[in-house]
């Protein structure tokens, strides 16, 4: 297979480059995932796309390729859809509270699958915080499936879920720049459309792209500007929270443009041990759940089908919060 035709199309710079059709993008990315593209051509393709920017059609083709090579998982029995939390950025300045959101959902009986990286290349990953909390990664898809069905929460590394995508992701250390895989992994639903993906990004243009992809596919997701790219609402200032489902996008909460009048008590440091200690205090009702995360929790309860409508979802979270307040008092 010759890759010169693809490089000619996408490698003419931001102004002169053309976009690949969906089928061509899928074919090319399958070869990249399978390790069939020589290093020289692979670097040219990655950098060409980086300069040009991926189109919606290209991202659709790339995502179809990743999903074709990704190990599938079964939706647990019951009417509630599993929540999928892709965690790939880690924390640098803020504490990584993705584990808190996952455990709170688990306590409501909502199945939660977390997939991502174990090590964060200088950042604090969800896997590292989970380890401090005694939650270890699943070594295989089979063990992740068993944990999900038995415990309601599983963390599976990308290397086990989609090895080809993991290999593309780690090229960042060699090339020095992100590539398409960094965006694609945040859209992965191992339940083949049966899950609800917490789709988070930091750049508005990519949030728009993620929304378009979810709308076009008819899949379910909670769309938000993540905290340092992680899929949880900033505890200091709530982002816009959208529920994308069945070809519709409903804004459940608008973004807050001012910081909360009363800032929540947050971890003293962003390291894994400090974050885990703070999460334990929240889970033991010694500290309240930050309001923006409680808002996101209500969105997830609605999207999963745990609640019949948004009013019920908010009421359930409010009742749980009042119980926490009484316990803390």
Q: Are residues 36 and 169 in the same domain?
A: no
Tens digit of each residue's pLDDT (9 = 90 or more) over 136-171:
999 999 999 999 999 999 999 999 999 999 999 999
Q: What is the CATH number for 214?
A: 3.40.1030.10
What are 4's two structure tokens? 């010169």
Judge whether 121 lies within some domain: yes
Q: What are phi and psi of 68, to 5 degrees?
A: -70, -30
> CB-based contacts of 279: which residues, under 8 Å, 6+ apart?
97, 99, 100, 103, 129, 133
As a whole number of angstroms, the distance between CA 194 and CA 180 comes to 24
Residues 25 and 158 in one domain: no
Domain-embedded: residue 119: yes
Where the chain has pLDDT below 70, the residues are: 259-262, 323-329
Considering the domain architecture, whether residues 97 and 128 belong to the same structural domain is answered as yes
> Which pLDDT score, from 0 to 100, does residue 167 have?
96
Instruction: Say how far apart CA 211 and CA 202 lie, in whole Å.
Output: 13
What per-residue confidence (pLDDT) applies to 260?
58
Kindly state whether residues 11 and 54 are assigned to the same domain: yes
Whether 101 and 226 map to the same domain: the answer is yes
Exposed, middle or buried by CB within 10 Å (0-12, 13-18, 19+), for 293? Answer: buried
Structure tokens at 306: 């745990």
Query: How many degrees, rounded to 5, is the angle at CA 75 between CA 71 and CA 79?
Result: 165
Q: Do 195 and 159 sit in the same domain of this protein?
A: yes
Kind plus residue range of the DSSP H or E element containing 130: helix 126-132
Distance CA 78, CA 76 (A): 6
3 near 41, Cβ under 8 Å?
Answer: yes
Is residue 74, in this structure, part of any structural domain at all? no
Based on the domain organization, do 292 and 158 belong to the same domain? yes
Domain contains 40: yes
CA dihedral (34, 37, 39, 43) in degrees, to 10, reads -100
Per-residue DSSP letter, 319: H
Range of the domain at 19: 4-69
**Where in the chain does DSSP place strands (E)?**
83-87, 112-116, 153-157, 196-201, 220-225, 241-245, 248-253
pTM: 0.94
- Co-location of 121 and 9 in the same domain: no
Query: What's the pLDDT at 15?
Result: 80
257 and 132 in one domain? yes
Q: How many domains does the chain have?
A: 2
What's the CATH number where 38 sits? 1.20.970.10
């Amino acid at each position: 297979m010759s890759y010169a035709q693809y490089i000619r199309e996408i490698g003419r710079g931001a102004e002169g480059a053309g976009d690949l059709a969906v089928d061509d993008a899928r074919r090319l990315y399958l070869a990249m995932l399978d390790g069939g593209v020589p290093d020289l051509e692979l670097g040219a393709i990655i950098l060409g796309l980086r300069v040009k920017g991926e189109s919606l059609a290209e991202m659709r083709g790339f995502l179809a390729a990743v999903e074709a090579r990704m190990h599938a998982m079964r939706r647990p029995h019951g009417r509630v859809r599993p929540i999928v939390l892709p965690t790939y950025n880690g924390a640098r300045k803020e504490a990584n509270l993705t584990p808190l959101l996952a455990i709170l959902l688990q306590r409501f009986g909502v199945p939660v699958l977390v997939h991502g990286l174990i090590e964060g290349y200088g950042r604090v990953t969800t896997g590292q915080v989970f380890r401090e909390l005694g939650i270890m990664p699943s070594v295989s898809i089979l063990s992740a499936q068993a944990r999900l069905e038995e415990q309601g929460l599983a963390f599976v590394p990308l290397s086990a879920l989609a090895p080809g995508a993991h290999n593309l992701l780690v090229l960042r250390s060699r090339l020095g720049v992100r590539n398409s895989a960094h965006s694609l992994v945040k859209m992965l639903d191992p339940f083949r459309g049966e899950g609800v993906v917490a789709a988070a990004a930091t750049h508005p243009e990519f949030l728009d792209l993620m929304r378009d992809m979810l709308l076009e596919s008819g899949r379910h997701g909670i769309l938000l500007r993540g905290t340092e790219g992680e899929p949880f609402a900033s505890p200091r200032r709530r982002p816009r929270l959208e529920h994308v489902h069945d070809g519709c996008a409903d804004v459940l909460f608008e973004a807050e443009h001012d910081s909360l009048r009363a800032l929540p008590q947050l971890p003293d440091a962003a390291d894994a041990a400090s974050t885990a200690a703070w999460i334990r205090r929240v889970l033991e009702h010694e500290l309240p759940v930050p309001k923006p995360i409680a808002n996101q929790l209500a969105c997830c309860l609605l999207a999963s089908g745990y609640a019949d409508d948004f009013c019920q979802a908010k009421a359930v979270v409010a009742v749980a919060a009042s119980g926490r307040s009484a316990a803390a008092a």
